[in-house]
A = this chain, B = another copy of it.
């Protein structure tokens, strides 16, 4: 349904200058949610964008604006009059306005703040004090506050008077003197209450889940899933309510964090742009440095092989199993490392568990390594027709490689977290490079030992 509307819109936009059927265009615009409209808008030529933007109703214009990339936002702002810009800033949610100010260059920021009214300006400046990746940096101050002594009737009247510009009123917050957070009341509880004279206090729940302004935004977002919440109150050091984080923002944060982890785990610099919105140059810059770094790190494995050239020359068959051994090490390592990285991200594993993690990984690795060694030994004897001592060397190496890879794969993410480094960096590519060298060292030393090479 939305798809057809988008196609219609695109056709209309292609003929914008010819037909100028503005009214029908306006109708199509209104029926499209901002997230569907944004990509069409981004693809427009810069001179058509202000025309389309002015055709949107005020609220939709603000929603559309919040969905745009910073580049498009900036080019659009440069086309808008001061008055139009003021209207956009007034219609934006406080947290979106603060994000905008954070992204724009100084000259644009000056124009934005000049057009904002005093209250908005104060709110924006307040929000900008918090780091972008903290609960304070993603919260909105537009929440509904109730007093514990109010009756349900009074609370509903206050909602009607002040609820319209709040980010959500589905959960309302009960505060004491100095805005100390006492608890939460859901709109549901207020509406379903049959006695309008009952005090808000009686419907209040204690809000066991609350976040400090400095709390990590990813950790706060995970609480939504765990407790099934729609909003989480954010309090300062004195337990005063300063804002709320809503579930829609939490979902976006989790999606961004997952994408970031996935990029790092696959040796790429993270980007918050969708694939087709990244330029070739951006894709190149996210990939090439890591490939280069890992390629140069492989120098160590080259050095090991060159150090054992005599052994390889004596038993040429050994070379044939190098890729299998290093790949198995890499695969085993990435199994552990991805399990631990995910466990740390979701909160199933804490850095204090490191000893338990290593103990489990050790036992699993012995089981896996043993299985592989037995199968490989049989396969090398029966299928590859190799001599038993060579098969023994490869199989023994397999056990040690899997053991070492899963231990390193289990330890490095936990160590990274303890050192304050993102565990996601300690994933497959880095592990593979580390494991390669050690696997080769083990391999050649077993070969020397078992095959009695010099």
A-side residues, CB < 8 A to B, are 1-2, 31-33, 35, 156, 159-160, 163-164, 168-170, 187-188, 191-192, 194, 206, 208-209, 224-230, 247-248, 250-252, 254-255, 258-259, 262-263, 265-268, 274-276, 280, 283-284, 287-288, 290-292, 294-296, 298-299, 301-303, 305-306, 309, 312-313, 316-317, 319-324, 326-328, 330-332, 334-335, 337-340, 342-343, 346, 348-349, 353, 356-357, 360, 363-364, 367-368, 371-372, 375-376, 379, 383-384, 398, 402, 428-429, 432-433, 436, 440
CB distance B267 to A335 under 8 Å? yes
Smallest Cβ-Cβ distance to A293: which chain B residue: B331
On chain B, the residues within 8 Å of A316 by CB distance are 309, 312-313
CB distance A164 to B192 under 8 Å? yes
On chain B, the residues within 8 Å of A251 by CB distance are 224-225, 247, 250-251, 254
Q: A66 vs B194: C-alpha distance in the bound complex, in angstroms?
A: 29
Q: A262 vs B248: C-alpha distance in the bound complex, in angstroms?
A: 23
On chain B, the residues within 8 Å of A192 by CB distance are 159-160, 163-164, 169
Counted per complex, copies of this chain come to 2
CB distance B191 to A160 under 8 Å? yes
Q: A32 vs B35: C-alpha distance in the bound complex, in angstroms?
A: 38
Smallest Cβ-Cβ distance to A333: which chain B residue: B266
Residue A291 contacts which of B32, B35, B301, B402 (CB distance < 8 angstroms)?
Answer: B402
Q: Which 7 A-B pairs have the closest CB atoms?
A: A298-B324, A228-B248, A274-B348, A266-B338, A301-B323, A305-B320, A302-B320
CB distance B191 to A292 under 8 Å? no
On chain B, the residues within 8 Å of A254 by CB distance are 251, 254-255
Residue A298 contacts which of B2, B327, B383 (CB distance < 8 angstroms)?
Answer: B327
On chain B, the residues within 8 Å of A32 by CB distance are 208
Q: A326 vs B251: C-alpha distance in the bound complex, in angstroms?
A: 38
Q: A384 vs B295: C-alpha distance in the bound complex, in angstroms?
A: 14
On chain B, the residues within 8 Å of A209 by CB distance are 33
Q: A302 vs B319: C-alpha distance in the bound complex, in angstroms?
A: 8
On chain B, the residues within 8 Å of A284 by CB distance are 364, 367-368
CB distance B208 to A225 under 8 Å? no
CB distance B330 to A330 under 8 Å? yes
